[in-house]
Amino acid sequence: MNSKNKPLHLLNGLTPAQFLAEYWQKKPLLIKNAIPNFTGLLSPNELAGLACEDEVQSRIVKYKNGKWIADHGPFNDDDFAKLTDKPTQENNWTLLVQSVNHHLPKGAALLQLFDFIPHARLDDLMVSYAPNGGGVGPHFDSYDVFLLQGQGKRLWRISEQTDLRLVEGAPLRILQNFDTTQEWLVEAGDLLYLPPHLAHWGIAVTDNGVDCMTYSIGFRAPKNQELATEFLGFMQDQLNQDQIVLDGIYQDADLRLQEHAAEIGKEMIAKVSANLQKIQWSDELVAEFLGSYLSEPKADVIFEANKKLSLRAFTEKFANAGIALDLKSQMLFFGDKFYLNGETVSFTGESKNILVTLADKRHLEATLISDALLQKQLYDWYIAGYLKF
Ligand code: SIN
Ligand code: CO
């Protein structure tokens, strides 16, 4: 049995395997008090501060006189000052900040609670803030999401409707119709899991003067079309780098006289088709594609190279303090191959075990590494900004 498969308070006493079998990608689950005493990881002001930074993706979604407006950050103090003081059902707004786990260690630690779902499926932690009545309207997402309530309350409505028509011309996905099937008023520490394409509508409820903040632990599911396009790009690289070799050149000793010189002959098509079908891929190659593609940082992610530290000084520091993946780093593995931020390395034996721990836990305890190659690899990653003390 998988050693991780223990009943979790986070999942209302279900084991991860039970949750996956009964709910994941199938039906919603509300867990009251999933994280006892959770009231959030940052204040509304701190969230607004993040939304003012250049490298942070943020949006303010406004609902004004029946119309939806979406503004993109970075914002400044004036933008926040202009927002309505007394929001109503017809006039409200919400602030949404993406990838909070890249900027807040506590955000990254929160995501680790959900590590019964593979890291390859993880997207990010989004945090929203809204005064009473605010929200992003009735919609559905293409992804799985765990919605964890921070401070304040939120009224969640879900709908089993199959009518997923969207309001045309709106700057965000808003359902034309919404028929509430079920609703819950959630409070701090409550967790709502929603499978993809389930219509939902979260309305912020200010409780005793405390506004609503919601933490969305979102998972990604690439479109099959996107995976195929990216895979073919990867295969092209394999061919260009002679990792896949198709021997010989086109031959037609059996060429027969054609009626039309300009016509592409059936024989030519058959020969080329047979040749193309020699392009094969193994599971290892698909894993390699997935590893580099899914660990590739998003376009807006920038790593700050660490100031020069000698390999010796690095090794000493590591032996005393351990090391962690940078908050923006994404590390995956398959077999002996490790993928960190789109780059591939291979390690076996004890070094492999160490890297498996780094990938799973995102940090390593203080240790003296005996493998000089691994030492150098960790050092290079540190200099590149992929690791931090
Ligand atoms: C929110 O936190 O306001 C929106 C989350 C969602 O509905 O996906
Ligand atoms: Co949603």
pLDDT of residue 387 exceeding 70, the answer is yes
Predicted pLDDT of residue 103: 97
Residue among 68, 136, 158 to mutate when testing ligand 1 (max atoms within 8 A of CB):
136
Residue corresponding to tokens 């780059």: 343
212 closest CA partner among 27, 44, 17, 8: 44
Cβ contacts of 272 within 8 Å, gap of 6 or more: 250
Task: Tell me, in angstroms, the distance from the centre of ligand 2 to residue 232's CA.
Answer: 32
* Angle of helix 372-384 versus helix 311-321 axis, rounded to 10: 90
Task: Tell me, in angstroms, the distance from the centre of ligand 1 to residue 78's CA.
Answer: 24
* pLDDT tens per residue, range 129-156: 999 999 999 999 999 999 999 999 999 9
Residue among 126, 142, 192 to mutate when testing ligand 1 (max atoms within 8 A of CB):
126
Q: What is the mean pLDDT of the chain?
A: 96
Ligand 1 atom nearest 194 alpha carbon: 8
* pLDDT tens per residue, range 326-359: 999 999 999 999 999 999 999 999 999 999 999 9
Model confidence, pTM: 0.94
Ligand 1 atom nearest 127 alpha carbon: 2
Q: Which fold has domain 311-388?
A: Malonyl-Coenzyme A Acyl Carrier Protein; domain 2 (3.40.366)
pLDDT of residue 84 exceeding 80, the answer is no
Predicted pLDDT of residue 87: 81
Query: Which residue puts its alpha carbon closest to atom 5 of ligand 1?
Result: 216
What is the percent of the chain with per-residue pLDDT over 70, rounded to a whole number? 99
Side chain identity at residue 369, one-letter code: I
Widest distance between CA atoms in the chain = 89
Peptide bond into 74 cis (omega under 30): yes
Cα 147 to Cα 193: distance, rounded to the nearest angstrom: 6
Q: Could you say which ligand is closest to the alpha carbon of residue 154?
A: 1
Structural contact between residues 100 and 124, judged by C-beta atoms closer than 8 angstroms:
yes
Cα 38 to Cα 149: distance, rounded to the nearest angstrom: 8
Domain 9-219, CATH homologous superfamily name and number: Cupin (2.60.120.650)
**What are the start and end residues of each CATH 3.40.366.30 domain in the chain?**
311-388
pLDDT of residue 89 exceeding 80, the answer is no
Q: What is the mean pLDDT of residues 34-55?
A: 97
Site residues for ligand 1, CB cut-off 6 Å: 94, 128, 135-136, 141, 145, 200, 202, 214, 216
pLDDT of residue 85 exceeding 70, the answer is no
Task: Tell me, in angstroms, the distance from the centre of ligand 1 to residue 151's CA.
Answer: 14
**What are the start and end residues of each CATH 2.60.120.650 domain in the chain?**
9-219
- Residue 4 structure tokens: 């991780």
Q: Could you say which ligand is closest to the alpha carbon of residue 94?
A: 1
Task: Tell me, in angstroms, the distance from the centre of ligand 1 to residue 289's CA.
Answer: 32
Q: What is the mean pLDDT of residues 354-383?
A: 96
Ligand 1 atom nearest 130 alpha carbon: 3
What is the percent of the chain with per-residue pLDDT over 90, rounded to a whole number? 94
* pLDDT tens per residue, range 194-243: 999 999 999 999 999 999 999 999 999 999 999 999 999 999 999 999 88
Q: What is the mean pLDDT of residues 19-25?
A: 98
Task: Tell me, in angstroms, the distance from the centre of ligand 2 to residue 200's CA.
Answer: 6
Task: Tell me, in angstroms, the distance from the centre of ligand 1 to residue 201's CA.
Answer: 8
Q: What is the mean pLDDT of residues 271-286?
A: 96
Q: Could you say which ligand is closest to the alpha carbon of residue 137?
A: 1
Predicted pLDDT of residue 141: 95
Query: Which residue puts its alpha carbon closest to atom 4 of ligand 1?
Result: 136
Predicted pLDDT of residue 240: 93
Would you list the DSSP string of 315-371?
Answer: HHHHHHH-EEE-TT--EEEETTEEEETTEEEE--HHHHHHHHHHHHHSEE-S-----
Q: Could you say which ligand is closest to the alpha carbon of residue 133?
A: 1
List, as ranges, residues with CB under 5 A of the ion ligand 2: 141
Residue among 68, 201, 216 to mutate when testing ligand 1 (max atoms within 8 A of CB):
216
Q: Could you say which ligand is closest to the alpha carbon of residue 148?
A: 1
Cα 116 to Cα 317: distance, rounded to the nearest angstrom: 32
Three-class secondary structure of residue 139 per DSSP:
strand
Cβ contacts of 184 within 8 Å, gap of 6 or more: 30, 155, 156, 190, 192
Task: Tell me, in angstroms, the distance from the centre of ligand 2 to residue 389's CA.
Answer: 35
Ligand 1 atom nearest 141 alpha carbon: 8
